[in-house]
Structure 1
Amino acid sequence: MYYKTPVGIVQITEEDGFISRIHILDGEHEATPADTPLLKETAKQFDEYFAGTRKDFDLPIKQDGTEFQQQVWDELLKIEYGKTISYNQQSQRMNSPLAIRAIASANGKNNLWVVVPCHRVIGSNGSLTGYAGGLWRKQWLLEHEAKVMGVGQTKLEL
């Protein structure tokens, strides 16, 4: 399914009853309707997220990755809506203070755009770094969440 968001078209893949991939696309793509109940529910939850009425996704998700990558992605799910942490803080939370680069690499391999919120991880100095969907999208998502939370515009450095 191809779903239209305020920041571009997203390709959403369902496999064996799980959402296995959500990937933001660059270029021209036409939105296509959801053809399964799970894809319809995913589109509904994205509609709610972008409308500012949903803060947490409740979808069956599964993505392939190593045990370490799964741990990194599980930690991403613990970052509260509208909040950010640094890669250093993420490594501390995982009791792996020397694994910052490996954690950042695993974040970059996350295939569940927005649902597993790697956009909420920023540089220690507050800068936006390392986002496969493009830094402008990362900034847009963080500003959207801040606005919904009533925090106002966040000043994040690209």
Structure 2
Amino acid sequence: MFNVGAYKGTREENYQMVIKQLNALLEGETDQIANLANASALLNTFLEDVNWVGFYLQRGNELVLGPFQGLPACVRIKVGKGVCGTAVKELKTMRIKDVHQFPGHIACDSASRSEIVVPIHKNGKTIGVLDIDSPSTSRFDEVDQKYLEQFVEVLTTYL
């Protein structure tokens, strides 16, 4: 779901446009923090019904808060804990319909009901995750997962 009025295409076309915008926004920039900050702002601007969009960066056996849009968040998450840590441990995207049903969910924002976390891999190593929360249950579907994974692939080329 994208911000009404931002794009007039299908959800797939809108995601493709955001990925093109990401490329244009980051082209020529090599600073990781700047690129993650702009990527989170871009997604936060265009995704509807989300209350947190950001990144956690892997530092040893934990994830440390990176650039984000939303309320203040948990600063450190151990690998294997919560949705973000589980995504890193299992090396796969986690799409959670109801975070209150996820064992060990870490509630940084009590308004969050659903979540999608996409691991970020570079040179065969996990370097962090894209984390997006929504105040609605079942907010994220297969289309979101497919295109957010593509978004992360493109982003990784600039990290």
TM-score by length of 2: 0.29
Q: Which of the pair is proportionally richer in strand?
A: 2
Q: Which of 1 and 2 has higher RCO (CA within 8 Å, sep 6+)? A: 2
TM-score by length of 1: 0.29
